[in-house]
Amino acid sequence: RMSRHAKKLRDHDVNPCLAETDASTKCMDDNNYKKDMCTDYFLKYKNCRKFWHGIMMQRKRNGVKPEMPSAEERKKILESMG
């Protein structure tokens, strides 16, 4: 049984980088946990976190709730950026 925290991290509305998280984990599993084989996945995850953290901080400063846009809203943000 998953903890409440673990469940939250599996929620697309809470974790904007779920796909990157899963890809990194799968890469590690597939490559016998050799980190150097998964550098690209880690970088994508890091960039994803950095990007959405910036959006979150901006929304926080502007008093926008919720601070993390929903999965649907994030999709629109990404589409608007091309």
Domain that holds residue 62: 4-81
> Structure pTM?
0.84
For 17, counting Cβ atoms within 10 Å of its Cβ (0-12 exposed, 13-18 middle, 19+ buried), the class is buried
Q: Tell me: the pLDDT tens digits for 18-67?
A: 999 999 999 999 999 999 999 999 999 999 999 999 999 999 999 999 99
pLDDT at 6 over 90: no
The domain total for the chain is 1
